[in-house]
Every structure is written in structure tokens, then in C-alpha cells.
Copies of this chain bind each other. A is one copy, B any other.
Amino acid sequence: MRASVHRFTMRDPGDVSELAAAINAGKVNPFHIVAVLGKTEGNGLVNDFTRGYLTQSLKLLLAETLGATMEAIGEKVIFVFSGGTEGVLTPHYVVFSVAPGEHVSTGKKTLAVGTAFTPVLKPEDLGRMAHVNSIADAVRAAMAQARIADAGDVHFVQVKGPCVTTERAAEARARGAQLITADPNKSMAYTRVAGAFGVAAALGELPPEKIREDAFFSRLDWFSERASISSGVEVAVNEVMVLGNSAAWNSDYVIAHRPMVDALDVNAIYAVLQDLGIHALGDNTAPALGRIACAMVKCEPDASGYVRGQRHTMWQDGDINAQRHIRGAVGGLVAGVIADTRIFVSGGAEHQGPPGGGMIALVAKAA
């Protein structure tokens, strides 16, 4: 099997012309597409409709190209978009494709991609252990599909999970079921946390005794350093994509990651570059940086109100949401180091990396 990564930019969230051109030119086989990950130029908050707009636009293109319905595309391909291209960030999307075919392993590990979907969860199970376990199962299934046996070879797990909606809450109440919360925003946070614990469980990042509900939001020092979780009303099941390295694949790419201890952790960025053999210490004109195919970052405003001992104002700003602030700052830092502004920077990093920090994962052409 062979995993490919293609990165495209767009004029606006309705512009999928670059992917269309790549398909027409034979550079991307639309039948092989398994996931699309991207940044859109909305605010990344509740009223950000650029994610839905891009999703609709891509489904339209793929449905037409593949002669399928838009619904069928949605059941086959994972679409995960994070809104908010603050600062220097560039709206873009990355298309992950898997070409089937056996490969005689040489022992060299290259990029492996696996996807999985959980069953539909009951509203009352969202944000609870049932949710955690369901995601852990899906991560294991995606690992199996990616033929990754050692969890240490997994470097990035993207989960997109559902949250409570008004309709789902009403249905649950009608049955007498009790929800952990009926507030969609809070439910989204619970889903992210359940996802983080689910990934940590599947990858063995936390021992089984730490996978428990009373740790949610309280034991922020218990986290997955490879999970990137988003949540939204638009999905009904949890969608999981696992990225790692495996000797069963003959991809042109490899992946690495590092946790970021805080929003200033330039050391982590240089460390992941070193993991990939990219030497660019203090020099972002180094040609080796051109090997980077895809960059993913998770971050969050430090809950303490301080970064390295100094006060930040992100939580007090009534004009700009704290998540927009942190994406702009960490995006600026990573972009400066790697000399590229096409970075998937996502906030809301509860239990995803150290508190106040997050993680960075890079996919690069193999050296």
C-alpha cells in the first residue's frame, strides 16, 4: 500500500479548483481519497460556516467525479476542517490517498494511513466512558487497517466526533435518558475530552486506571500527545484517522511528532524537524524544509493566564476569542521555523498535549 499527501490552496471555501485540476491531470486518483484535512478562513467558532461550505463543495466535486451521491462520499471520506487562519496562516486542505497493492517490505517504515468510524452513539453516552471506549476501538481498527502494530509508530490521530444537538437532546429526554450536558458548546468539549482519552487508551499513553470520567477537565496532566480532536453538530458518528509509519507501506512519506509544552515551545518544533532529518536550525531558508508535505499543530491558551511566568490577555479579550489568539501566535511561530504558512493549527486542546501546550506533527518526503 502507498499513502499520498497532496496539499491545495483555495481562493475561498467554495473553490475546489486545484483538486479538480489535479484529478483531471491524473495527479490525484479520486477513488483513492480517504480523508481531507484543512484550514478554512472562518473564525473557527460556532458560527463558522466555512467548514460546512468547503465540505459541501468537495462532496459536490467528488460526487460528480466519481458518479456517486454526496451522501455516499460523506460515508467514505473523512472531512476534518478547522476554521481560523489567523495571522500568517493560509487556507488550504490536504488530501490523503491510499493506493492499494501489496508491498514487499524492506523493513523501512513509511507513511501509513488508516481510517475508521464508530457506530452511532446514544446522546446520553456522549462524553462518557462509552464514548471513550468506542473511540478507542475505532483507533485500534484504524491502526489495524494501517497495519501498525506498535502504538509507538502512531504519530497523529485525528478524531471528529458528534455533540449533543437540540434534537438529540430532546429525543434523549423523551426516553428519560440523562445527558452529561444539553449545551452544544459544552458537549463539544466533552467529545474532545472523550476523544483524547480514547486515543490515549488505544495507544497506551495512559494506563487503564487513568481512563476515567472524573479525570475529565480536572487531570489536565493526563493527556495524549498524539490526539487531535474536533467536534461538531454536523457528524453523527466518530470519524477517526490514524497516521503513522509502517514497514507494510511503500509511501514516499514519513511522519513524526512532538508534544509542545507551551505556546513558546520552539524546541519541540526543532526536535520534530530533527526526527525527520531536516536540518534548519535557525535558518528557515534551508532547502531540506521543502520536504515537508503537511504540518499539524494543536494548541491552547494557557488556562492559568500566564505563559512562561508572564500574563497573557487571551482570556480577557472580549473582541477576539482566545482560540483565535493562540492559533495566530503558535501558527506564527511554527510558520517562521518551517518557512511555510500552510499549517493545520487547531485549538481546543484539552488533554491533547501538555496543558497550555499541545503538539506538532509533520509529514515529510522521506529523505
Contact = CB atoms under 8 A, between A and B. Distances in A.
Given A284-B267, A307-B341, A86 B43 contact: no
A308 B53 contact: no
Nearest to A341: B310
A85 to B, nearest CB: 5
Contacts of A311: 9, 90-91
Q: Which 5 A-B pairs have the closest CB atoms?
A: A45-B318, A87-B329, A329-B332, A328-B328, A332-B332
B14 A335 contact: no
A116 to B, nearest CB: 26
A315 to B, nearest CB: 8
14 contacts: A9-B311, A12-B49, A14-B53, A46-B318, A53-B53, A56-B56, A88-B307, A91-B311, A263-B332, A266-B282, A270-B282, A328-B328, A329-B332, A333-B336
Contacts of A48: 318
Given A90-B310, A318-B321, A331-B332, 5 more contacts: A41-B313, A56-B56, A281-B282, A308-B340, A320-B320
Nearest to A42: B49
Contacts of A331: 329, 332
Given A56-B14, A319-B319, A341-B308, A267 B281 contact: no
A188 to B, nearest CB: 13
Contact of A318 (B43, B313, B314, B316): B43
A331 B92 CA distance: 23
B52 A52 contact: no
A278 to B, nearest CB: 12
Interface residues of A, number: 68
A281 B284 CA distance: 12
A325 interface: yes
Contacts of A314: 87-88
Interface in A259-277: 263-267, 269-270
Contacts of A50: 49
A353 interface: no
Nearest to A39: B313
Interface in A62-113: 85-92
Nearest to A333: B336
Interface of A: 9, 12-14, 41-50, 52-53, 56-57, 60, 85-92, 263-267, 269-270, 281-285, 307-308, 310-314, 316-321, 324-326, 328-333, 335-337, 339-342
A264 B53 contact: no
A87 B326 contact: yes
A308 B310 CA distance: 31
A320 B327 CA distance: 13
Nearest to A326: B87
A39 to B, nearest CB: 10
Contacts of A44: 318
Contacts of A270: 282-283
Contacts of A89: 312-313
